[in-house]
A and B are shown apart, each in its own frame.
Chain A
Amino acid sequence: MTHARSDEGVAGGEDVLGAGVLERIPDGSDLLTAEDIVVRFHTKRGVVHAVEGVSIAIRAGEVLAVVGESGSGKTIFTRRVMGLISGGNGTEVHGTVTYDGTKLTELSGKELSKFWGAEIALILQDPMTSLNPVKRIGEQLTETIVLHKRVTKKEAQQRAVELLRSVGLSEPERRVRQYPHELSGGMRQRVTIAIALSCNPRLLLADEPTTALDVTVQAQILDLLADLQSRLRMAMLLVTHDLRVVRSRSDRIAVMYAGRIVETAPTPELFAEPKMPYTEALMNAVPPIAGPNHIRLQVIPGRPPDLVNPPTGCKFSPRCPYAQEKCLTEEPPLREAGSADHQYRCWYPVGSEEGLKAKARNVERGRSAAGTP
C-alpha cells in the first residue's frame, strides 16, 4: 500500500525514494572494491589479527552476504570499508577500498563524510543504541537530508514523513515527533533504515540488521530491505551470522572464518556445492525446520580460534574433519572452483576426490591430522 503511494510520487516527478535511479552505473559492474583489507589491533595480550587480507567486490544492484560466527572479523571488515576504523592508536590497517573510482582509504575524515549517508549508508544491529535517545525521530531523519541536499527544513520534514511511510511505519506524521524510546525494536529498525535511505545511497551496508529482533519482525524487516533494494537498484552488503537469513535474500555469499574469506560463491551454488568444509559444517549445524525432530545435529568440534595466536596453516584445520598434515602447515590460497565467482580456501575440498580420500583416511585412523576425533 505504501508502495502505491510512493509510485504516485514518481508520476508527479518527485519520488521520495529512487530519485536519480537513471544516473546509476549499470548493474553488474563493480561499485565498491575492497582489496587486501587488513585490520590488526595491538593489545597487551598481543596482536589481534581481526581481518587478514580480505578482498571483495560489490557490484551495482546486487546483494552480497557476508556470513561468519562471532569473531570471524565480519563486523570489523564492514567498519573498515565504511571508514569507521582507521589506523593509529594501536590499530594497524592496510589495503584499499575503492568506491566508484574514488579511493576511500586515502580520504580524510572530512572528505569521507561526504560519502557517508549520501553514497554509502550503514544499518547497525542494535536499533536502540544507533538512534539518539534525546532527539525526536524527525530531527534524526532530517539531519542527513539537510546536510547532503539543498532543501529547506520544511521540505526535509516532508521528506522525513514520506520516508517513514515508505518503510512501512504507521502514522508517520505522529512518529516524527516521537522519541526512540516510544517505539518498539522493529519500529526503531525501520527508522534506522529510513535514515539510511534518506539520501538515496547507492550502497547499503547492513550489519546484522535483524539479529536483535523477533522472528516475525525479522521477516518483516528482511522483506522490506529486499523490496527497497530491488526497487531502488541499490547494492547491499548484508552481514550476518545466520545462513538461513541469507539463503533466499542474497545474490552472492562470502563466508568468513578467522578474519579471512574462506569461500565465496553465488548463493545457489554455495548451498548446492559447498567446497570448504567449514561452509558445509555451518549448514549442517543449523537445526532443520522440516523432517523429524530429535535429529542429532552435526557439530563442529572445538571453537573458533584465538585471533592473537591463530593456528598455522589452514585456520579451520583444528576443527576440520578433512584435515591432513598439509593443512596444519600450509595455508591454502583462494582457489577457483569452475568460475571466478566461486572461490574457496581448502586443500581437500568437499565433494572432490582428494576430499573424499582425506575424510576416509581420517575416519580410518579415528582422528584428523590435528588430532580431533
Chain B
Amino acid sequence: MTAARTERPAVAGAEQDGSESDVVLRLEDLVVEFPAGGGQTVHAVSGISLEVHRGETLGLVGESGCGKSTTGRAIMQLPKPTGGKVVFEGRDITKLSASELRELRPKLQMIFQDPISSLNPRRRIPDIVGDPLVVWGRGAEKEKIVPEVLSAVGLDPAQVADRRPHQFSGGQCQRVSIARALVLEPEVLICDEPVSALDVSVQAQILNLLEDMKARYGLTLVFIAHDLGVVRNISDRVAVMYLGKICELGETEALFDDPVHPYTRLLVSSIPSMETVTGADIEKADRGRGEMPSPINPPSGCRFRTRCPLADERCAAEVPEMREVRPGRYVACHHPILEPVGAAAAAEGA
C-alpha cells in the first residue's frame, strides 16, 4: 500500500497542475438554499468547490440529505444555484441568459434515478431517443443516429421500434435514458443515482454500460450515488459530502483504503462487507450513534462535529477549510487522521 501511495501523488500532482483546458467543469463556492417556510432556510449546499477533469469519473457520495443530488442539479442549473460559480469550459454558466444556456445544454446531460418515470409513457422508444435531435433541428439525422445509439446501449433498434416504456424493465428503461442523454454527444454526463433503483444483477449491466459509453463517446462523468461499492468501482476520484459540504476529496482507491476524515472513516467502516468472516468479531468501529442533523439548522463550525469522536471546542467555533494533506488529497477537518490505518487502530485500542 505504501508503494502505491508514493506512486500516486505524482499522478495526482500532474492533474492538479494541468492547464485550464483539462478542467472541464469547476464549481467555485457553490451555494444552494431553499426557503423552508416560516422564514427558515434549508442550507442544502453550503459553499463547495471542486474541479472535474476531462475524461475522468468523479464520484459524489454521501448519505441522503447531504446535498449530492442538489449539487448535480445545480451544475445543470436546475434550478440555478443561490451563489457561487459553475464554470463549464471556461465560462461561468450561472451568468448566462436562458438562450445562451440553451445553446450549452447539449453538452451537459443528465440521467436520473428512476428510469421509468423519467421517460414519457405515451411515446415510442425511438421517438424518445430521437427527440433531442429534433429539438436541435437535426431531425433528418434521426434515422441514422438513433439506431446507432440504441445498439450502443445494448438495445435492438428493430425490436424496440414500436415499444413504449411500460413494456420494458427498469434496467432497459435506464438504457433508454442513457441513449437519450448520449444522442447529442455531450461532454459531461451527470448520473444521479443511476443504478440505485435496479436489482444487483441488472445494476452490474448498467455500470459496465456506463464505462463502455464513457470510453466510446469520450465522456466525463459526475457520478452521484449513496452506494459506496458502486462509487468505488466506477470513479477515478471521489468527493465525500456531509450536510452540504465536501469533507474529503481524493483518488478513489487511496481514499477508500486510507480515509483521513472521521466521517469518511465512519462511512467506509459501515459498508457491509463481502469479505468479512462470519461469526468473527464484526469490527464495530466507532459507528457514531446518531444521524445527520437537519440542514435547516446545521451545527456551527464543522458540520460533522455532533457525531465526530474527535470533536473539540475548536470544531464548534471554527469552520474547517479544505486543505491538501497529501498530494491530491483534500480534507476539511481540524483533526485529520493522518497516520496509516493500522497505527490508528492500534492507538484507538490502547
Q: Which residues of A contact B (CB under 8 A)?
A: 69-70, 168, 170, 184-187, 214-220, 222-223, 226, 241-245, 247-250, 267-268, 271, 281-283, 285-290, 292-301, 303-304, 319
Contact = CB atoms under 8 A, between A and B. Distances in A.
Interface of B: 63-64, 169, 171-172, 199-205, 207-208, 211, 226-230, 232-236, 252-253, 256, 266-267, 269-280, 282, 284, 287-292
Contact of A285 (B63, B201, B275): B201
Given A214-B226, A247-B272, A304 B199 contact: yes
A168 B291 CA distance: 13
A135 to B, nearest CB: 23
B200 A282 contact: yes
A69 B200 contact: yes
B232 A241 contact: no
Given A216-B267, A282-B201, A296-B208, A242 B233 contact: no
Given A247-B272, A287-B230, A289-B273, A216 B199 contact: no
B78 to A, nearest CB: 24
A299 B204 contact: yes
B233 A294 contact: yes
A186 B307 CA distance: 15
Contacts of A69: 199-201
Contacts of B274: 243-244, 247, 271, 283, 286, 288-289
A219 B307 CA distance: 15
A241 B282 contact: no
B204 A297 contact: yes
A186 B291 contact: yes
A220 B284 CA distance: 9
Given A216-B270, A243-B274, A296 B287 contact: no
A317 B208 CA distance: 23
Contacts of A249: 282
Contacts of A170: 289-290
Nearest to B266: A216
A241 B235 contact: no
A324 B97 CA distance: 61
30 contacts: A185-B291, A215-B228, A216-B63, A216-B270, A217-B63, A220-B287, A223-B282, A244-B229, A247-B272, A247-B273, A248-B272, A248-B279, A268-B279, A281-B201, A282-B201, A285-B201, A287-B204, A287-B229, A287-B232, A287-B234, A288-B229, A289-B273, A289-B275, A292-B253, A293-B252, A297-B233, A299-B205, A303-B199, A303-B201, A304-B201
Contacts of A244: 229, 271-274
A164 to B, nearest CB: 14
Contacts of A216: 63, 266-267, 270, 287-288, 291
A293 B106 CA distance: 29
B284 A297 contact: no
Contacts of A217: 63, 291
B203 A285 contact: yes
B199 A268 contact: no
A223 B287 contact: yes
B127 to A, nearest CB: 24
A215 B270 contact: yes
B199 to A, nearest CB: 4
Contacts of B233: 287-288, 293-295, 297
Contacts of A268: 277-279
A245 B272 CA distance: 5
A64 B211 CA distance: 37
A215 B228 CA distance: 9
B208 A215 contact: no
A185 B272 CA distance: 19
Given A214-B64, A219-B272, A248-B278, A286 B287 contact: no
A220 B287 CA distance: 7
Nearest to B231: A287
Nearest to A72: B199
A288 to B, nearest CB: 7
A285 to B, nearest CB: 4
Contacts of B267: 215-216
B201 A215 contact: no
A242 B289 contact: no
A215 B269 CA distance: 10
Given A216-B63, A293-B235, A303-B172, 10 more contacts: A216-B266, A268-B277, A268-B279, A285-B203, A286-B204, A287-B227, A287-B234, A293-B233, A300-B202, A303-B199
Given A214-B63, A297-B207, A267 B201 contact: no
Contacts of B266: 216
A219 B289 contact: no
Contact of A168 (B63, B171, B276, B289): B289
Nearest to A169: B289
A241 B199 contact: yes
A170 B235 CA distance: 37
Given A223-B287, A268-B278, A287-B229, A299 B208 contact: yes
A218 B272 contact: yes
Contacts of B282: 223, 226, 248-249
Contacts of A223: 282, 284, 287
A319 B229 CA distance: 24
Pick the 3 closest A-B CB pairs, nearest first. Answer: A214-B63, A300-B201, A219-B270
A293 B229 CA distance: 10
A170 B290 CA distance: 9
A168 B228 CA distance: 26
A283 B266 CA distance: 24
Given A247-B272, A281-B201, A220 B289 contact: yes
B63 A248 contact: no
A5 to B, nearest CB: 15
B96 to A, nearest CB: 34
Contacts of A248: 272-273, 276-280, 282
Contacts of A301: 205
Q: Which of A268, A271, A299, A301 has the most CB of B within 10 A?
A: A299
Nearest to B171: A303
A250 B276 CA distance: 12
Contacts of B228: 215, 289
B272 A290 contact: no
Nearest to A67: B200
